[in-house]
């Protein structure tokens, strides 16, 4: 129980940082929380952390990476039959729309499908790649 409360608090701190535009601070939080949630087997939380990392990749202009991460999160949610909360769904849909604008529908859809075929470990690994060393 203490673990759950502590992780929720950390995750919420990451969300606040992201919503205030502190993308680096948010990413630092999510890098820790996603691994902790994965280790504990809290798959719905892993899916949400993947989405948040995808939003950060989108903000950084790493469109293909963002689409693959979001595709992985979408497939993970489908596999465990866990929906997003309404506000999360709005943010997710806005991210997909932005990716379509930046990449084109066909390329975005391809990247989302590619992400959806990743294993959980592959998706987390992609989310944790050092964003400074990536080119999109």
pLDDT-based confidence at residue 5 (cuts at 50, 70, 90): confident
More confident residue, 135 or 84: 84
Q: Alpha-carbon torsion 133, 121, 102, 32, what sign? A: negative
91 and 45 in contact (C-beta within 8 Å)? Answer: no
Average pLDDT over residues 88-106: 98
pLDDT at residue 4 is higher than 70: yes
| Residue 19, domain member (yes or no) | yes
| Residue 36, domain member (yes or no) | yes
Please give the residue range of the domain that contains residue 50.
Answer: 2-130
Task: Give the pLDDT confidence score for residue 49 in this predicted structure.
Answer: 97
Instruction: Output the furthest CA–CA distance in the chain (Å, rounded).
Output: 45
What are the tens digits of pLDDT across the range 12-49? Answer: 999 999 999 999 999 999 999 999 999 999 999 999 99
Structure tokens at 30: 């999510």
Task: Give the pLDDT confidence score for residue 101 in this predicted structure.
Answer: 98
pLDDT-based confidence at residue 136 (cuts at 50, 70, 90): very low
pTM (2 d.p.): 0.92
Per the structure, how many domains does the chain have?
1
| Residue 136, domain member (yes or no) | no
pLDDT at residue 91 is higher than 90: yes
| Residue 135, domain member (yes or no) | no
Task: Give the pLDDT confidence score for residue 99 in this predicted structure.
Answer: 99
3-state SS class at 60: coil
């Amino acid at each position: 129980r203490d673990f759950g409360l502590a992780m929720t608090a950390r995750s919420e701190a990451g969300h606040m940082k992201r919503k205030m535009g502190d993308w680096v601070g948010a990413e630092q939080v999510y890098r820790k929380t996603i691994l902790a949630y994965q280790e504990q087997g809290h798959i719905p939380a892993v899916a949400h952390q993947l989405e948040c990392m995808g939003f950060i990749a989108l903000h950084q202009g790493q469109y293909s990476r963002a689409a693959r991460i979001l595709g992985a999160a979408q497939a993970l949610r489908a596999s465990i039959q866990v929906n997003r909360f309404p506000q999360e769904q709005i943010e997710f849909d806005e991210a997909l729309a932005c990716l379509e604008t930046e990449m084109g529908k066909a390329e975005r859809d391809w990247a989302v499908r590619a992400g959806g075929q990743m294993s959980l470990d592959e998706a987390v690994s992609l989310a944790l790649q050092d964003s400074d060393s990536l080119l999109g």
